[in-house]
Each structure stands twice: as C-alpha cells, then as structure tokens.
C-alpha cells in the first residue's frame, strides 16, 4: 500500500458554508498545495479586495519558503547539505542561519526526538517522496546511519558560516517549516489590515480574531475513523498542531510504518496514533504547534509527559497505539467530543 499525505480533517469547511450563507460578512477563501500538503486561508471581512490581496501575499510567502528550503530539490538547503556531506564550510543567508539556530533550540527542548538533522534517515525510508514504496530500507543502511547518529546539534554557526562535525547530517525542515509559515502568514495578514482569519497548513491551524464575533471552531481528526474526534474553539492567536500515524505511512505484512521516525532507533514510532497540542497566542505559536507535537509522539507512553513539561506544553492530547486517549487536565476542559464522550485518562 502506498499512501500520500492526508491532512487532518477540520471543520473549517462547515464554518465557511455557514458564513457564506448568513450573508452579513464577506468570506474570502483560497486553497493551494505547498509543503507537500493542502493549505487553506480563510478571511472574514467586508473589504474583499483587501482580503484577496492579503491571501495572495501569504501564498507567495508559502511558495518562497517551500522553494528556498526544499530538502530534496535544488535549493539553498540542498546546497548546505551537499557542503556538509563534502566536509566543507558553507556560507548561508541570514534567514537560514536563524532557522538553524531556532530549530537547534527546539530540538534541544524536545530531547532531540524532533531533529531536523536526520534527513538522510528520512530519505532512506523513502518518506521524502510524494509517493513511497511498501518496502523496508536495507538494514545495513539503517545501522550505518544510527551508528553515525546525525543530529542538528552537530552543526556550528559562526556568523553565517555553517560547519558540521558529522557528514551524515542532512537538514530536512519538513517537521518545522509549516509552523514557521503559520507565524509568517499571521504577521502578513495583520500587517495588511486583516484581523479575522483562519490559516490551515495540513492540519496545523492558527486563528486570528473571530468569525463574526464567535470563536473559530476546528476539529481534531480521529486517527482511525473518518471525521473529527473532538472540536475546540480557538481564541485570537492560538494555534494547534497534530502529528499522526495516519498521514504519511505504508503497511507491510499487517504492520504500519508512519513517517514519524525515532532518531534513536532509526525506525518509525509504533507506540502512538496521534498527538494534538494547543499553543497559546504568542509570536512563535505556529512554530511551536508544528515542532512541539513530534517529540511527544515519539517519546512513548512512559516519557511523553516529561517531554511535554520540558517544552512547557500544557495542552496535550495523546492517543496511544491501542486507541486509549490521554489528555492534560487543562486541555480536557477545552474539548467537545462529537459523539459519545470516549474514556479519557486525564493527567496533570
């Protein structure tokens, strides 16, 4: 079975229909395909032309980020990865230098369970491609990479010059850049006078303002059923992010292999079905919503709460391999379940 990226289902579409039907406030909506997933920007307001121009600016920025930091097509990032493999120092632009520094801090906070330096491992599994084959990578290749232990912490920045003590490091910002793009989109919209919008990048969602005075409501995809498990209202500036084993995966001999790789073992994690986190409003809410869920997903049943605390994440929902739902007490009060409320384990 070969699978492509499946974005978590949200209740955005239903909200759009409601707003269009009420006729009191204009709704502008545009979708695109970037970062290997579907992106959607909704803007509520009476100034339709202003909204269209702002959305166009957001989508241009998404495209620029995607092309500039693509890990597998010619880009500034592939040039850096080539230099790392050759053992050469590489001068990078200011923006890339900042992205490296920021992702190093995020990786450290997540105990390096989220690590953008494992691009070679991603490629070995074939998860860098739009379509991937249902085959396991050669065991020798995995053992070699795990023994080399590539990590973004192997990189050093002196000004804008990047060097690496490990030639097996290859940067892949696929688990981080969508969150950066959310923050960029929010800034662009606000700068252009847009204060009520919803931005969705493959299930990473940020809310601005409200929809006609009512909070934006979005859904959290059930990892094994169609439709949402629960919904929640997002306040101005809040963001949610989900990591799930149902988005990019293949199955072989009855076993599921998701794209979320454990840097310690070199294998996909099989202890978790999905993790959703809510990030309060702040200048990096989008970034944290993307990078913060992955260490919790990979940490497993014994360690996820400690990893969440280290990242200062208080709103977490985790569904384990058997479908058991664990949720932090602060998050439990925000969720509205769409059917009969399932059994929950509420934790501090």
Match 């493999």 to its residue by tokens: 85
Helices H / strands E in the chain, number of each: 11, 17
Q: How confident is the model at residue 172 (pLDDT cuts 50, 70, 90)?
A: very high
Q: Are 204 and 266 members of one domain?
A: yes
DSSP code, position 225: S
Q: How confident is the model at residue 84 (pLDDT cuts 50, 70, 90)?
A: very high
pLDDT at 16: 35
Domain end call among 173, 192, 219: 173
Q: Cα separation of 217 and 235, whole Å?
A: 9
Lowest mean pLDDT among 10-24, 45-59, 96-110, 165-179: 10-24
- pTM comes to 0.93
Q: What are phi and psi of 279, to 5 degrees?
A: -110, 125
Q: Are 36 and 128 members of one domain?
A: no
Q: Are 42 and 118 members of one domain?
A: no
Residue 18 has pLDDT above 50, yes or no: no
Q: Are 52 and 86 members of one domain?
A: no
pLDDT at 12: 42
Q: Is residue 1 part of a domain?
A: no
Domain end call among 173, 203, 224: 173
Tell which wins on pLDDT, 8 or 320: 320
Residue 242 has pLDDT above 50, yes or no: yes
Beta strands in 160-203 (DSSP E): 161-164, 197-201
Return the SS3 of 170. Answer: strand
Q: Which domain holds residue 95?
A: 76-173
Q: Is residue 5 part of a domain?
A: no
Q: Report the domain count for the chain.
A: 2
List C-alpha distances in Å: 21 to 2, 14, 26, 197.
39, 11, 10, 17
Q: Are 60 and 186 members of one domain?
A: yes
pLDDT at 45: 92
Q: How confident is the model at residue 247 (pLDDT cuts 50, 70, 90)?
A: confident
Q: Is residue 34 part of a domain?
A: yes
Match 């009420």 to its residue by tokens: 22
Compute the CA torsion angle 170, 171, 174, 179 (nearest 10 deg).
160
List C-alpha distances in Å: 187 to 64, 66, 219.
16, 18, 24
pLDDT at 130: 83
Q: Is residue 294 part of a domain?
A: yes
Residues of the chain with pLDDT > 90, as a percent, come to 88
Task: Kindly state the average pLDDT of the residues 77-82.
Answer: 98
CATH code of 88's domain: 1.10.3980.10
Residue 24 has pLDDT above 80, yes or no: no
């Amino acid at each position: 079975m070969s699978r492509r990226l499946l974005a978590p289902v949200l209740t955005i579409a239903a909200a759009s229909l409601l707003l269009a039907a009420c006729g009191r406030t204009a709704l502008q909506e545009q979708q695109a395909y970037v970062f290997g997933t579907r992106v959607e920007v909704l803007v509520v307001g009476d100034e339709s032309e202003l909204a269209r121009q702002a959305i166009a600016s957001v989508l241009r920025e998404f495209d620029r980020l995607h092309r500039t930091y693509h890990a597998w097509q010619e880009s500034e990032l592939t040039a850096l990865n080539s230099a790392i493999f050759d053992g050469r120092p590489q001068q990078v632009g200011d923006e890339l230098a900042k992205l490296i520094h920021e992702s190093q801090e995020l990786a450290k906070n997540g105990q390096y369970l989220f690590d953008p330096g494992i691009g070679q491992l991603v490629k070995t599994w074939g998860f860098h491609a739009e379509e991937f084959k249902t085959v396991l990578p050669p065991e020798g290749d995995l053992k070699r990479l795990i023994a080399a232990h590539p990590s973004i912490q192997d990189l050093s920045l002196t000004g804008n010059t990047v060097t690496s003590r490990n030639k097996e490091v290859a940067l892949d910002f696929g688990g981080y850049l969508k969150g950066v793009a959310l923050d960029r989109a929010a800034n662009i919209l606000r700068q252009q006078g847009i204060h009520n919008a919803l931005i969705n990048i493959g299930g990473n969602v940020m809310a601005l303002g409200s929809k006609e005075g009512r909070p934006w409501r979005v859904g959290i995809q059930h990892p094994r059923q169609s439709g949402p498990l629960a919904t929640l209202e997002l306040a101005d500036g809040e963001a949610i992010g989900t990591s799930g084993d149902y988005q990019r995966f293949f199955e072989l001999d009855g076993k599921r292999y998701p794209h979320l790789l454990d840097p310690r073992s070199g294998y996909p994690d099989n202890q978790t079905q999905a993790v959703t986190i809510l990030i309060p409003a702040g200048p990096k809410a989008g970034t944290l919503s993307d990078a913060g869920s992955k260490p919790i997903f990979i940490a497993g049943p014994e360690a996820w709460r400690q990893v969440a605390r280290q990242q200062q994440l208080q709103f977490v929902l985790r569904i384990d391999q058997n479908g058991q739902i664990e949720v932090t007490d602060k998050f439990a009060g925000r969720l509205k379940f769409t059917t009969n409320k399932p059994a929950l384990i509420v934790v501090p």
